[in-house]
Amino acid sequence: VNTFRQLTKLNKLWLHTNQIETIDAKLFESCTNLKELYLNNNKLARIDVNTFKQLTYLTTLFLSNNQIDSIDSNLFYKCENLIELYLSNNKLKRIDVNTFRQLTKLTILYIHNNQIETIDARLFETCTNLTELSLHTNKLTRIDANTFRQLTNLTRLDLDHNQIELIDGKLFESCTYLT
């Protein structure tokens, strides 16, 4: 638990490509200046809701290529400065509507290659700075017409390799920067 206790000035931490299965909720407690955290390519299945609560300066978080099957809706609650979030290549089936509520500065969100079947129309409503959103290779069958309504800065949207049956004519109405 006290592994990083003396490293209060730690700015970037690379723990990727290991065999990490669990993280103690207090592991990063002293890392209050941490801006970038790389936990991708491990064997994480669940992350305690308090794991990132002291990381208020965190801007980049890589959790891709793990075995995460669910995320507590308050996991990123204190990560208000998060700009890039990578959750791709996990086992997520759903994401609670409040999961990204505090992430108003988020510009890049990759949640592709999971098992997500539905997305609440309000999931991204506070992510107004989002420029890149990757949802490909999930199990989405429909997307509500209001899902991307607040994403007026979106330049890249990836929805391929889903099971989408119908696209509402107003789905991309607010996404005037998509190229």
Q: pLDDT tens string for the chain (179 positions)?
A: 668 888 889 999 999 999 999 999 999 999 999 999 999 999 999 999 999 999 999 999 999 999 999 999 999 999 999 999 999 999 999 999 999 999 999 999 999 999 999 999 999 999 999 999 999 999 999 999 999 999 999 999 999 999 999 898 899 999 999 98
Strand, coil or helix: 131? coil
- Token pair of 141 as six digits: 């069958």
**Hey, what amino acid is at 105?**
K
**Helix, strand and coil in the chain, % to nearest 5:** 0, 15, 85
Alpha carbons 156 and 163: distance in angstroms, whole number = 20
- Report yes or no: 116 and 93 within 8 Å, Cβ to Cβ: yes
What is the pTM assigned to this prediction? Answer: 0.96
Nearest by Cα to 40 from 102, 113, 98: 113
Alpha carbons 111 and 50: distance in angstroms, whole number = 21
